[in-house]
Amino acid sequence: MPHPLGNRPSKVIAVHLNFPSRAKERGRIPAEPSYFLKPPSSLAGTGDPLTRPAGCELMTFEGEIALVVGERAHRVTPDEAWRHVAWVTAANDAGVHDLRYADRGSNLRSKGSDGFTPIGPRLLDAREVDPTALRVRTWVNGQVVQDDTTDTLLFPFATLIADLSRLATLEPGDVILTGTPAGASVAAPGDVVEVEVTDGSRSTGRLSNTVAESGEPLADWGAMPRVDDAVRADAWGPSHRPEPALDAATAEALRGLSTATLSSQMRKRGLQHMSIDGVHPAAPGATMVGTAHTLRYLPLREDLFKVRGGGMNAQKRAVEELRPGQILVMDARRDGSSGTIGDILALRAQKRGAAGVVTDGGLRDSTAVAALGLPVFHAGAHPAVLGRRHVPWDTGVPIACGGALVQPGDVLVGDADGVVVLPPDLVADLVADSIEQEAQERFIAERVAEGEPIDGLYPLGPRWRPVYEDWRREGR
């Protein structure tokens, strides 16, 4: 389907970073906007395929708000800028990361292919919308993956127009892609990507495009697709970035150790505050080993909950970002008077391969969660929904959970005594020393059971040391 502009514009300009949520994903906040150009030939409409070039694997989508210039703009001020915009619509700033290396910065080949800038399907009159009150959402196969609003942009739309017009004249019909929020990622052939822009009462409708595989080989007289783990991580986003992980042997060793022993060993190393206090397992006997993926809640503020609590909020993103072997660790400020996770999200975490969940807040649907078989440690059961006490704020950041500082990638171990946090760089030594400590404690327990007094035995003294060493050599 033709794009809704009719005539081809003189240029399509895209902003690198503008939504704070995306800037956080990228790990930098720019001091001023930066841009790249997309060829007008990249424009397409709803229903047109997003064709992934042969040999590429990383077809990415970026739901965006597109501005269409209506009146020539040359050296306009921010106060004058918005009247130069005629239309607002939805856009998908698509691309292939496999070719980014070839034109680093300009993105010409990676984002400039025919059909890589679908827009539409309807145009909203810019005079009838508030540019600070727009919402952009993206769906992949019916699931919301991006959801953000324009009230917190790094660079308001008027700033972009004024900035661009200082040196380049904006002509009627020119398109400005204003940046994508968090959640942009990779789509595969067959995936349906939809983008919609609304202002609460008006909608562009859903811009819908299906990813297709090119049936023609890519000629080899130019740059060819090239990827590695770093490129894949960049394309997929935070949910696929490498995290500190446990090897199978270390994880198995930790499963055989108690939190009491690990806590003792950390105390010997001067680490006194490594337990997540006030949490207990939803199911008796549950044990847990994994690496931390973090979620932070902030105190409820109704106006901010309206902005950050709906749609694909940080709580839901945290669950969808989980990788096998990770533990979702939540900072709810030790306020258990509202649920921070319930049975549906706990089930989704389990399906994502999570090794467990820890929250110093409340747990909803506690009986159903306990029945899942997923280790969940919480501060108490509570029936209230999320919006009673908390605003889900951000993921993948250092948090305080039950009085302990938890960083993404920290190792967590949980059992009936509670949950302890282990620094990843100390795990190997902690395991070795904990195995030795528990062996000594087994030996001591056997002697006490035989009637021996604890003086000189517990802790192990010089008189018992040779006996213990013989006991160990016997394979005990």
**For position 244, what pLDDT does the model report?**
46
Range 12-239: architecture per CATH: Alpha-Beta Complex (3.90)
Dihedral, 360, 361, 366, 370 alpha carbons, nearest 10: -20
Per-domain boundaries in the chain:
12-239, 248-422, 428-473
H/E stretch holding 359 reads: strand 356-359
**For position 242, what pLDDT does the model report?**
47
pLDDT tens digits, 212-227 = 999 899 998 899 999 8
CA distances 225 to 42, 98, 218, 231, 290, Å, are 19, 5, 9, 11, 35
**For position 243, what pLDDT does the model report?**
46
> Which of 430, 421, 379, 414 shows the shortest CA–CA distance to 274?
421
> Which of 153, 149, 119, 187 shows the shortest CA–CA distance to 311?
149
CA–CA separation, 339 vs 455, rounded Å?
A: 48
Parallel, antiparallel, or unpaired for β 326-331 and 356-359?
Answer: parallel
Tokens 């709810």 belong to residue: 332
Please report, in tens digits, the pLDDT of each residue of the chain (476 residues total).
667 787 889 999 999 999 999 988 877 888 999 999 999 999 999 999 999 999 999 999 999 999 999 999 999 999 999 999 999 999 999 999 999 988 877 899 999 999 999 999 999 999 999 999 999 999 999 999 999 999 999 999 999 999 999 999 999 999 999 999 999 999 999 999 999 999 989 999 999 999 999 989 999 889 999 987 668 878 888 655 444 457 888 899 999 999 999 999 999 999 999 999 999 999 999 999 999 999 999 999 999 888 888 877 889 988 988 888 999 999 999 999 999 999 999 999 999 899 999 999 999 999 999 999 999 999 999 999 888 899 999 888 899 999 999 998 899 999 999 999 999 989 989 988 888 888 888 888 988 999 989 898 888 888 888 888 888 888 76
**For position 383, what pLDDT does the model report?**
94
Cα torsion 176, 230, 313, 193: sign: positive
**For position 441, what pLDDT does the model report?**
85
CA–CA separation, 430 vs 83, rounded Å?
A: 64
Parallel, antiparallel, or unpaired for β 95-96 and 117-125?
Answer: unpaired
CA–CA separation, 370 vs 376, rounded Å?
A: 7
CA–CA separation, 307 vs 147, rounded Å?
A: 10
**For position 240, what pLDDT does the model report?**
54
**For position 105, what pLDDT does the model report?**
74
Single-letter code of the amino acid located at 272: Q
User: What superfamily would CATH give domain 248-422?
Assistant: Ribonuclease E inhibitor RraA/RraA-like (3.50.30.40)
